[in-house]
Amino acid sequence: MQKSDSASSLGPGGLDLTQAFFKRIQNAAPPSPTKRHTKISVIGVGNVGMAIAQTILTQDLADELSLVDAKADKLRGEMLDLQHAAAFLPRTKINASVDYSVTVGSDLCIVTAGARQNPGESRLNLLQRNLALFSNIIPPLAKYSPDSILLIVSNPVDVLTYVAWKLSGFPSNRVIGSGTNLDSSRFRFLIADHLDVNAQDVQAYMVGEHGDSSVALWSSISVGGVPVLSFLKNQQIAYEKETLENIHKAVIGSAYEVISLKGYTSWAIGYSVANLARTLLRDQRKIHPVSVLAKGFYGINGGDVFLSLPAQLGRGGVLGVTNIHLTDEEVQRLRESAKTILEYQSQLGL
């Protein structure tokens, strides 16, 4: 399945026409062995996986893209559909297989496979349905790409990132969950919408669980470099805490609303994950709120737990966690979020 029928062997008896079509120049050297070849593998070709794959292709983030799924016919169909757009996209080799050997040598493995979230279903309720699935996914990825970075997107993402870390045996800096990167984008959009500014000028983070116990870091929000709450206080402009809570609730409910309307989320998470892939593979060293091993940060010491914190990302994965100032209330809510996740992890037996 790794090549479509339109390979280069079009001549009589399968002659490789590339040798006849191009004539090498004299005194040419082979390609430099140091030239970087970037390979991304996407596991799961459902709505989310394909939105990620499509965004990776349009943004020219990889030289090679490998797709893996258990459904062979759908997998081949998705591969062909992407290959047929080759004339409109940057050149990327696209492979697909039900066999994980197709992922060999990946720089980044993005895992989206999992049971679809049902309308009104909590992300944490998906845990038991996805746990067994990961036992068949993570070990072969670690086997074929032992130096890769694992980026987990499947929900519940924080617990499954912990599961992936345990099953892979990878160091914690190379196992990341997409976490609240998208939640923070929704947060920035809503704040920008309230203030009628561009969302890119809003600095705001959601941390903790990617889900109902997430924490909005109101104390650190800034617009155009101006700390919002400090500005309102200095200008003696009154605001109601209930208004802030309503924005937070809107962020949490955003995914549920989209799911209730169209049955799934796809495009926003596609852009979010491609954004993370760019930062990781191009060593951008940008700050993203993603799910990382949080033990030891902000008094979280109850056990190994993955949840979202503002982290600097680069070619080595997680390079560090930003030492952002939190209020006492925010710290307490973050610890409660960690406790919520740990309660579910305690049922795994890992």
At 131, list the tokens: 């746990």
Proportion of the chain in helix, strand, coil states, percent, rounded to 5: 45, 15, 40
Both ends of the chain: CA-CA distance in Å?
35
Known binding site for NAD(+): residues? 44-49, 69, 130, 153-155
Could you tell me the residue ranges of all domains in the chain?
A: 35-177, 180-347
Residue 208: DSSP 8-state: B
According to CATH, what is the number of the domain 35-177? Answer: 3.40.50.720
Angle at the Cα of 209 (from 207 to 215), degrees rounded to 5? 40
* Residue 310: cis peptide before it, omega within 30 degrees of 0: no
pLDDT, one tens digit for every residue, the chain (350 residues): 544 544 555 555 556 666 666 666 766 667 666 667 999 999 999 999 999 999 999 999 999 999 999 999 999 999 999 999 999 999 999 999 999 999 999 999 999 998 766 777 765 667 777 888 999 999 999 999 999 999 999 988 999 999 999 999 999 999 999 999 999 999 999 889 988 999 999 998 999 998 888 898 988 888 888 887 777 777 767 666 777 788 888 888 888 899 899 988 899 999 999 999 999 999 999 999 999 999 999 999 888 999 999 999 999 999 999 988 899 999 999 999 999 888 888 877 77
pLDDT reported for residue 9: 52
Strand partners, 223: 202, 226
pLDDT reported for residue 83: 96
Rounded Cα distance, 183 and 113, in Å: 20
At 287, list the tokens: 């700050």
Tell how strand 287-293 and strand 306-314 pair up.
antiparallel
Closest C-alpha among 73, 70, 75, 71 to residue 50: 75
According to CATH, what is the number of the domain 180-347? Answer: 3.90.110.10
* SS3 (DSSP) at 226: strand
Q: What is the dihedral of CA 92, 96, 99, 102, to 10 degrees?
A: -10
Residue with tokens 């297989």: 97
E strands along 14-144, which residues?
A: 39-43, 64-68, 93-97, 108-111
Active-site positions read 210
Residue with tokens 């799924």: 69
E strands along the chain, which residues?
A: 39-43, 64-68, 93-97, 108-111, 149-152, 175-177, 202-203, 206-207, 215-216, 222-223, 226-227, 287-293, 306-314, 317-321
pLDDT reported for residue 224: 87
Q: Are 302 and 324 in contact (CB under 8 A)?
A: no
Known binding site: residues? 44-49, 69, 130, 153-155
Query: What's the per-residue H, E or C state across 282-316?
Result: CCCCCEEEEEEECCCCCCCCCCCCEEEEEEEEECC
